[in-house]
Amino acid sequence: MSKNVIVIGGGIIGLSTAYFLQKNGHQVTVLDKSNMDSGASYVNAGYITPSHIVPLASPGMISKGIKYMFNSSSPFYMKPRLDLDFMKWAWYFKKSSTKEKVERAMPVIMDINLLSRELYEEIHNSGELGDFHLDRKGLLMMYQTNKERDHENEVAERAKDMGLQVNHLDLDGLRLVEPDVELNAKGAFHYECDRHTTPDQIMERLAGYLAKNGVKIHKNEQVVDLKATSGKVSEIITNKGSYTADDIVFAAGSWTTTLSKKLGVHLPLQAGKGYRINVSTPTKINMPAILMEAKMAVTPMQGFTRFAGTMEFSGINNIIRKERVEALARGASKYYKGLHIPEEDKQNAQCGLRPVSPDGLPYIGTTDKYKNLVFATGHAMMGWSLGPATGKLVSELVSGNKLSLDISPFAPDRKF
């Protein structure tokens, strides 16, 4: 049965949801408060990462956050502030950061990542968005110290046990896959299971495809209120008008919790700010890599090299801290000898807000409170990777079809 569905949010999660809803024959409208040309979906590292099996909420992360709390250039920065929602979230995060909970989360994270990788491949092979950039080189976890090598080796062995393709490269092996730059590293773990893309390109083409295929996209339209009747969301009020729909999808990233509060639903969620620098001059970098000690990502994209990373919890804002941009540039130069990041590129750095749940798992599914409301948010650093899988699962849920995965671990009403 065809439904009228409104998707609030035009990032990769929202557009992927609209894509699969449209495929299932639904009438779809996307509402986004921005011009849909900036934010987390445009500044991420572009990774599709089955290798990222360990959730952000893992043992030791709160201790790191406290350690870095007064260093605004640190990779994991929690700005001290008296905010009840943040304090509740931090408490839930601490409760989730146990070995037992991480062990349960790992196969769940891997399975949804593998589904999403398959869907990216299918979309690419369909030609619907044209021949967009989808590279199958894998991902390097590059290290300079034995400490990081030993830490990643544990993850790599666990990944192998779970069926993922990963190899250890010494410095000679690393030079074979990255021959054109001089590296300051001891080695790397090569996760052959991963992919990388150019996000801006895909976002533009996906939005264009949807518009051509009957999806209505309303930019610069902000939801200001919602009304509910008899256990259903009955009206969406924006700064430009009002809407009714059979089903509503909250895919508004870090702003989703603001929307849910209007309906009396408390969704533990915090904005984790990430930064990126695009360098258009040739860097000769061939492989995407996580620079482990620097806690940052490097991605060769179409037309430029992207340096991205950091996790900053400072509330919902788009303030760019210059010290964090400089930390990215310094971190990269410690691994790639002779790398020069032009001052202009640093001045043009952008940021995006990633929606972070307390346990490292996204919110995908319905809430007991409203029959026609579906959540699709909370993906943290894996939003880009999990876009298609989330969209497909939401579409299956709205359509009443068999689900591709068990979504109970992603329940919005779950307890922490």
Domains and CATH numbers, the chain: 4-410 (3.50.50.60)
Question: What pLDDT shows up at residue 12?
Answer: 98
Cα–Cα distance measured from residue 278 to residue 304, given in angstroms and rounded to the nearest whole number = 6
Confidence of residue 5 (pLDDT cuts 50, 70, 90): very high
Which residues make beta-bridge pairs with 277?
307
Cα–Cα distance measured from residue 66 to residue 82, given in angstroms and rounded to the nearest whole number = 15
Question: What pLDDT shows up at residue 65?
Answer: 60
Would you say residue 66 has pLDDT above 80?
no
Q: Which residue, among 100, 137, 161, 142, has the nearest Cα to 291 in the 3D structure?
A: 142
Q: What are the pLDDT digits (tens) for 244-274?
A: 999 999 999 999 999 999 999 999 999 999 9
Residue 69 · residue 77 · CB < 8 Å: yes
Cα–Cα distance measured from residue 83 to residue 91, given in angstroms and rounded to the nearest whole number = 12
Output DSSP code: residue 265: -
Q: Can you tell me the mean pLDDT for 97-104?
A: 92
Sequence-ordered alpha helix ranges (H) in 97-182: 99-126, 146-161, 171-177
Helix (H, G, I), strand (E, B) or coil at 163: coil
Output DSSP code: residue 29: E
Sheet with strand 195-197: strands edge to edge: 47-48, 195-197, 134-135
Question: What pLDDT shows up at residue 383?
Answer: 97
Q: What are the pLDDT digits (tens) for 187-207?
A: 999 999 999 999 999 999 999
Beta strands in 280-349 (DSSP E): 289-291, 296-301, 304-313
Cα–Cα distance measured from residue 380 to residue 375, given in angstroms and rounded to the nearest whole number = 14
Question: What pLDDT shows up at residue 75?
Answer: 73
Task: Determine the length of the chain.
Answer: 416
Question: What pLDDT shows up at residue 146?
Answer: 97
Residue 195 · residue 288 · CB < 8 Å: no
Amino acid at the residue 34: S
Question: What pLDDT shows up at residue 44?
Answer: 97
Would you say residue 68 has pLDDT above 80?
no
Residue 251 · residue 376 · CB < 8 Å: yes
Would you say residue 276 has pLDDT above 70?
yes
Residue 227 · residue 234 · CB < 8 Å: yes
Question: What pLDDT shows up at residue 74?
Answer: 72
Question: What pLDDT shows up at residue 177?
Answer: 97
Would you say residue 80 has pLDDT above 90?
no
Q: Can you tell me the mean pLDDT for 329-350?
A: 96
Cα–Cα distance measured from residue 16 to residue 298, given in angstroms and rounded to the nearest whole number = 25
Report the share of the chain in percent with pLDDT over 90: 90
Cα–Cα distance measured from residue 10 to residue 34, given in angstroms and rounded to the nearest whole number = 8
DSSP tally for the chain: helices H, then strands E: 12, 21
Structure tokens at 329: 């540039």
Cα–Cα distance measured from residue 404 to residue 373, given in angstroms and rounded to the nearest whole number = 20
Would you say residue 171 has pLDDT above 80?
yes
Would you say residue 62 has pLDDT above 70?
no
Structure-model confidence comparison of residues 306 and 65, the more confident one: 306
Cα–Cα distance measured from residue 76 to residue 407, given in angstroms and rounded to the nearest whole number = 29
Would you say residue 4 has pLDDT above 70?
yes
Would you say residue 325 has pLDDT above 70?
yes
Would you say residue 288 has pLDDT above 80?
yes
Report the share of the chain in percent with pLDDT over 70: 97
Cα–Cα distance measured from residue 399 to residue 385, given in angstroms and rounded to the nearest whole number = 23
Question: What pLDDT shows up at residue 81?
Answer: 77
- Kindly list the distances between the CA atom of residue 403 and the CA atoms of 241, 254, 396, in Å, as whole numbers in the listed order: 34, 26, 6
Would you say residue 86 has pLDDT above 70?
yes
